[in-house]
Amino acid sequence: MSNYYDPRWYEDDERRSWRSFSTESVSDSGSADPQAATSPPPGAPSAPSDQPAPPGCRTAVRRAVTVTALLVLAFIAGWFSHQFFSSGSFPASSQSQKYAQLFQQAWTLVDQKYVDRKAINYQKMAYSAIQAMLDTLGDKGHTRFLTPDQVQAFNQSLSPTLVGIGVYIQQDPTTKQVVISDTVPGAPAEKAGLKPGDVLLSVNGQSVQGKDLDTISSLLRGPEGTAVTVTVRRPGTNQTLTFHLKRARITVPNVIMHYIPEAHVAHIQIVQFADGVSDQLRSSVEQAKKLGAKAIILDLRGNPGGLVEEAINTVSEFQASGTVFLEQDSSGRRTPYQVTGHVVDGKIPLVVLVDNGTASAAEIVSGAFQDNHRAIIIGTRTYGTGTVLEQFPLSDGSELLLGTAEWLTPDGHFIRQNGIQPNIGVSLKAGQSPLTPAAENRNHTTYQQILQSGDSQLIRALQYLQSQP
């Protein structure tokens, strides 16, 4: 099943959500194999024989046959002729035929009659028409069109080895202001002095104001060793600062743990459900318990999703039995996916932090823990991306990502458009960024400092755990 991973979370690709990561390009050796649709990651536990193995567990989405892809491109590119319709590919009376012919008529008129010939850009016309068509489906942030460059980034973005400057960025959906929420330890951004809270103003002299994350990602993207100039405004001082950096190959930590000894709590963040994350999580939980952790705060805020198998494995590490999610196809048939049985600790108290940036596979994990009464969910309603995507290649290297099935929580609640409602609703104040384990480790943050940090969601999680017997 194609778990959905939204590559706009990275700065080398595209993402509809509020968070992105500056990577620009990915190590060739770390590229996901789009054909390995049924192969589990090396070393990952396999599903029990009585459970359907999740298809697409190595890649973000399924791929469709080329014939289907060519058909879609033919329709949009304008050579979807009457003869093609007469071939029996569509029923003669179908609404599909009627409106596809309408589009063909409009395309032909523009092609033959529009006065300013220099203004006609066939690729732009086709790409815009495809995206507009998909937008009518209402599958926000999921079903969409990818250009050839975006396809490459999409297929590569789950590698832990990336090329970039190493910043996490978030974008206010209303103002479009882009803020650096954190930096990767040892990456060029941290070394240069970029700090969490810095407001991104421009990249290589081009203002980012009003631009979406797709555009900002393309500005930040570039080969290893190339230069990039980033200008930010630093809150508090209101200074405008310019940094000159070189893109470098970095290893992105997708699981980060900070142990809070005063509370005997491990704060563990899963940045995204990339390949191997469940193994990293297992190691972090085992390390935390050796340090004396009696409870865990699993931080999924801003997590855009990732590989569905990693989501299944993550839930399986904290519960010995139960359903992780249901997959429903267009006919209404539902297929349950169960835990694997590879438990790390099925009894340790668990709180999960979520927000509007928690999406897709991260919502599967949250919904599974909630419906199975394994964890308390704290934060705000999640994004609501609950479709299973299939990846349909088009003839010029672009692709359609189409929702072909839906994910439901174990109790049958639809994730799409609804999201996951937390058990305890807590919102951050305007302008307050989540406190991450990376920042806690970097600043040697104590329990008292966390309580004074302003991260009301993390504070509430700690208070909840401290109140339990």
In a domain, 178, yes or no: yes
Which has more confidence, 64 or 118? Answer: 118
Model-level pTM? 0.74
Whether the pLDDT of residue 66 is over 50: the answer is: no
Q: Which strand (E) or helix (H) includes residue 325? A: strand 323-328
Q: What integer best gives the mean pLDDT of the chain?
A: 81
Which has more confidence, 204 or 19? Answer: 204
In a domain, 191, yes or no: yes
Please give the pLDDT value at position 22: 43
Q: In total, how many domains does the chain have?
A: 1
CATH number at residue 174: 2.30.42.10
- In the DSSP assignment, the letter for residue 87 is I
In a domain, 223, yes or no: yes
In a domain, 264, yes or no: no
Q: Average pLDDT in the 140-151 region?
A: 86
Please give the pLDDT value at position 278: 97
Q: In angstroms, rounded to a whole number, what is the distance separating the alpha carbons of residues 161 and 30?
A: 6
**230: containing domain:** 159-251
- Over residues 409-456, the pLDDT tens digits come to 999 999 988 999 999 999 999 878 899 999 999 899 999 999 999 999
Instruction: Let me know the angle formed at the C-alpha of 266 by 260 and 269, rounded to the nearest 5 degrees.
Output: 120
Closest by Cα among 386, 410, 415 to 337: 410
In a domain, 348, yes or no: no
User: Alpha-carbon Rg of the chain, whole angstroms?
Assistant: 23
- Over residues 156-198, the pLDDT tens digits come to 666 667 788 988 888 876 777 899 888 888 899 999 999 988 9
Whether the pLDDT of residue 21 is over 60: the answer is: no
In a domain, 245, yes or no: yes
Please give the pLDDT value at position 62: 39
Q: Average pLDDT in the 352-369 region?
A: 96
Please give the pLDDT value at position 44: 30
In a domain, 213, yes or no: yes
In a domain, 187, yes or no: yes
Please give the pLDDT value at position 157: 62
Query: Reduced to 3 states, what is the DSSP secondary structure of residue 119?
Result: helix
